[in-house]
Amino acid sequence: MTDTSTTPAVERVDGRHRYEIRVDGRRAGLTAYRDHGGQRVFFHTEIDDAYAGQGLASRLIRAALDDVRSSGMRIVPVCPFVAAWLSKHDDYEALTDPVTPEVLQWLDAELRRHAPGR
């Protein structure tokens, strides 16, 4: 039986447009995205300081990108951490699209539209 109390678990939270990683039931970090047609655009990743340097961001990104792969979508790595991670993992190259000015402009508008208080 798997010991879920110590295994970090990654979950997609559609309503908040992000994947979260939990350790011992506590949220330790997240990677945020917006969907642009068939592309999942990742723009921000963070791991709480208390959990830094334990490989959690790497584990989170792998799980998130595997989920994108299984859904048949493509990846756009606007987040510098995701871009750096992809540069070290060739096996995701076939599902990665470039970050274009058009995508950046769309993302900017999308994030402004959903900013709190608007």
Ligand X SMILES: CC(C)(COP(=O)(O)OP(=O)(O)OC[C@H]1O[C@@H](n2cnc3c(N)ncnc32)[C@H](O)[C@@H]1OP(=O)(O)O)[C@@H](O)C(=O)NCCC(=O)NCCS
Residues of this chain that interact with ligand X (CB under 6 A) are: 44-47, 52-58, 79-81, 84
Kindly state the smallest distance separating residue 26's Cβ from ligand X, in Å. Answer: 14
Residue 58 or 69 having the CB closest to ligand X: 58
Task: Report in angstroms the alpha-carbon separations of 45 from 1, 15, 70, 78.
Answer: 31, 17, 21, 10
Rounded to the nearest angstrom, the gap between the alpha carbon of residue 97 and the centroid of all alpha carbons in its chain is: 15
Beta carbon of residue 77, minimum distance to ligand X (angstroms, whole number): 10
Strands 39-47 and 26-36: antiparallel
Amino acid identity at 5: S
Closer to ligand X by CB, 38 or 80: give it.
80
Q: Tell me the closest approach of the beta carbon of residue 60 to ligand X, in angstroms.
A: 8
**Which helix (H) or strand (E) covers residue 50, if one does?**
none
Judged by beta carbon, residue 1 or residue 115, the one nearer ligand X is 115
What residue number has its CB nearest to ligand X? 57
For ligand X, the closer CB: 38 or 55: 55
CB of 1 to ligand X, least distance (A): 27
DSSP string over 83-102: HHHHHT-GGGGGGB----HH
